[in-house]
A = this chain, B = another copy of it.
Amino acid sequence: MSTTQPHEHIVKSYDEEQRHLVEEIVRMGLTAVAQLEAALDVVERRDDSAARRIVANDESIDEAERRISHDVMLLALRGPMARDLREILAGLRIPADIERIGDYAANVAKRSIALNAAPPMPHTTGLRALGLLAAGQVRQALRAYRENDGELALQVRENDARLDQQYTALFRELLTYMMEDPRNITPCTHLLFMAKNLERIGDHATNIAENVWFLIHGEQPLPPRDKRDDTSTTTGAV
Contacts and interface: CB of A to CB of B under 8 A. Distances in A.
Contacts of A183: 237
Contacts of A117: 235
Contacts of A80: 77
A157 interface: no
The interface residues of chain A, by DSSP majority, are classed as helix
Please classify how large the interface on chain A is, using the bins under 10, 10 to 19, 20 to 34, 35 or more.
35 or more
A69 B175 CA distance: 41
A73 B88 contact: yes
Contacts of A76: 73, 76-77, 88
B232 A107 contact: yes
B77 A114 contact: no
Nearest to A81: B77
Nearest to A74: B85
Contact of A233 (B89, B110, B185, B238): B110
A10 interface: no
B77 A232 contact: no
A237 B189 CA distance: 11
Interface stretch (A125-133, A135-143, A159-167, A190-198): A190-198
Interface in A86-139: 88-89, 92-93, 96, 107, 110-111, 113-114, 117-118
Contacts of A74: 85
B96 A73 contact: no
A76 B88 CA distance: 11
Given A69-B89, A76-B76, A234 B175 contact: no
Contacts of A185: 175, 178-179, 185, 237
A148 interface: no
Contacts of A88: 73, 76
A120 to B, nearest CB: 14
A186 interface: yes
A182 interface: yes
Would you list the 4 A-B pairs with minimal beta carbon distance, nearest first?
Answer: A117-B235, A77-B80, A179-B182, A111-B232
19 contacts: A73-B76, A73-B85, A73-B88, A73-B89, A76-B88, A77-B80, A96-B96, A110-B232, A111-B232, A113-B233, A175-B186, A178-B182, A178-B185, A179-B182, A186-B234, A186-B235, A189-B192, A192-B192, A193-B196
